[in-house]
Structure 1
Amino acid sequence: MRAGAYEARVEDYVALLKPRVMSLVVFTAFVGLLLAPGGINPFVGAVAILCIAIGAGASGALNMWYDSDIDAVMSRTANRPIPAGRIERDHALVLGLVLSSFSVCLLGLATNWLAAGLLAFTVFFYAVVYTVWLKRSTPQNIVIGGAAGAFPPMIGWAAVTGTISLESVVLFLIIFLWTPPHFWALALYKQSDYGAANIPMLPNVAGERVTKIQIFVYSLLLVGSTLIPGLTGFMGTVYSVVAIASGAGFIWLAWALLRTSETVAMKKAGRALFTYSLSYLALIFLALLADHAVRLLGWL
């Protein structure tokens, strides 16, 4: 990278915020906000979602700031703005710190300080606990670090109610248990990338067989957790049908991956599970919304 070679564009600063990750964070937080009892002023709700989005973006910028060295040696991240030489590292750090402070303060003023505190903890957990500490030190990085991505629906719920309830904890649990099979499936067919960056992802440390077994176990736990809303009466028939059908698909793909032994087939099965897991989580949270709407309208 040459001194003075930085040619940042607007889209590069947007990329620092990890917009694809942010979109999932915003959606799950939105679901938590809408499902919370009592309701919220639409304008205040929009501000709350905006704050959560900004906080998620700040986390992404701080992650890219710290991880720019390993991003440079991984094929899927080498073209990110910092390793590609389009944005200075210090700019990403300042952007992350400013946006995180702004989002937390605004959320606290607009809603309540429990929601703001949860958002602050989420940013800290992702940027410091996961990125700085866990990611490079333990193959359980994704398991523990996955908590950061699981907080948004709880923050949305707290923004409305000012409390943490069993229902919001269940929403947290679903995303928390979804994270390991999702990322370990990716790690199975990106082992060389993680190996080159010296990141101790489970396949590189414990081997493919152990990883596939753990993916299957976590898949069972994940699908089990998605049944809790229906079993506790939090959700009704519409949600339960979707959770059972989509969960069966998740377990089937995890089982198919577990049964593979040949490398090419394993990578293909891992990619299939990873791709399915993206739409799976979105479908589960869409089903939560749909069931909530149906029950509000009195159709079931």
Structure 2
Amino acid sequence: MSSVIPVPADTAETPARRSARAVVGAYVALTKPRIIELLLVTTVPAMLLAARGIPSPWLVLNTLVGGTMAAGSANALNCVVDADIDAVMKRTKSRPLARHAVPTRNALVFGLVLGVLSFGWLYATTNLLAAAMAVGAILFYVLVYTMVLKRRTSQNIVWGGAAGCMPVVIGWSAVTGDVGWPALVMFGVIFFWTPPHFWALAMKFRDDYAAAGVPMLPVVATPQHVAKQIVIYSWVMVLWTLLLVPATGWVFAAFSILAGAWFLVYAHKLESAVRRGEPAKPMKLFHLSNTYLTAVFVALAVDSALGLPVTGWPF
């Protein structure tokens, strides 16, 4: 004999409550939280390096809050502009605007309000430079990358990726009030990291981008050319990362060399497989690129938090 345990009326989830959760979840999804997580992983180490130690926890928290709103604004506005593309691609068809979970007008207002709030928050809690750069990053990502470059050139992600490099510069300026050369080097690390990261993903989803009419490099070039470009950018990324050695200690220096060699091995494996016509695994490099960037910046954070003497160039 079966029995049913009644659920108290005050604890049962009503349709209205489920609907409210779905709406909130849709707006959160507009901000692309997984992308924001990776951007914030780079912001904190940049602040630690700028302070060469532990900056004020409140300053770190306020910078992360403002940076989250800025990134969320850019991503939400990107969803508005790219709704037609997202609806075509299998990888993105579940995004809120592609499945009409949020009205376009509401998503636009949501993105703009987040942008205004990010400026006000960063200006009030950090400084004008950090706030202005956050707004500049939003405008560049939406107006330059999303509305101009993405649908017009195979180099879209190369130059468009510059917006994703801004969190490290914003974090640095929040601590120092200026933009020092280590901030520009960190900017370059992420700038050169972006093409191998994104082209590996685009190799996997080439048909998606082709169907949407987006000229990502894997759509308009041969796999051999794409793989070769990935190797070139990977080498530049790893070597550029070493430019941070004069501003860091031996923890970062040793770890960045090991992590860089690890990444290069897999980049060359991908190129070799493609060149020989063997089954390639671009998603393996894609996931590795996330691990690489996280690991390098965690090493940078540890090195900076320990306050070790800077190494300078070892030669």
1:17 aligns with 2:1: no
- 1:88-103 alignment, distance < 5 Å: 88-103=103-118
AA of the residue aligned to 1:243:
S
* 2: CA distance, partners of 1:65 / 1:11: 17
* 2: CA distance, partners of 1:160 / 1:196: 45
2:91 to 52, 73, 76: 76
CA distance 1:68–1:110, change in 2 (3 Å): same
* 2: CA distance, partners of 1:293 / 1:109: 26
2:209 to 187, 190, 194: 194
TM-score by length of 2: 0.88
1:148 aligns with 2:160: no
1:35 to 49, 67, 88: 49
1:297 Cα offset (Å): 10
* 2: CA distance, partners of 1:264 / 1:72: 32
CA distance 1:249–1:44, change in 2 (3 Å): closer
1:111 Cα offset (Å): 1.5
* 2: CA distance, partners of 1:41 / 1:250: 34
- 1:162-173 alignment, distance < 5 Å: 162-173=177-188
Larger Rg belongs to: 2
* 1: CA distance, partners of 2:186 / 2:262: 20
Deviations along 1:191-223, one digit per CA (max 9) or x if unpaired, are 000001000000111221111111000000000
CA distance 1:244–1:44, change in 2 (3 Å): closer
User: Which residue number corresponds to residue 3 of structure 1?
Assistant: none
* 1: CA distance, partners of 2:199 / 2:210: 14
1:34 Cα offset (Å): 2.1
Question: What secondary structure does 1:260 align onto?
Answer: helix
Number of residue-to-residue matches in the alignment: 289
TM-score by length of 1: 0.92
User: Which residue number corresponds to residue 291 of structure 2?
Assistant: 279
1:251 to 253, 260, 264: 264
CA contact (8 A) 2:48 2:305 kept: no
* 2: CA distance, partners of 1:225 / 1:36: 18
1:205 aligns with 2:217: no
CA distance 1:243–1:296, change in 2 (3 Å): closer
Structure 2 regions of 5+ residues with no counterpart? 1-18, 311-315
Deviations along 1:1-27, one digit per CA (max 9) or x if unpaired, are xxxxx9852111110010001111122
AA of the residue aligned to 1:201:
M
CA contact (8 A) 2:141 2:160 kept: yes
* 2: CA distance, partners of 1:297 / 1:49: 27
1:240 aligns with 2:253: yes
1:100 Cα offset (Å): 0.3
1:188 Cα offset (Å): 0.8
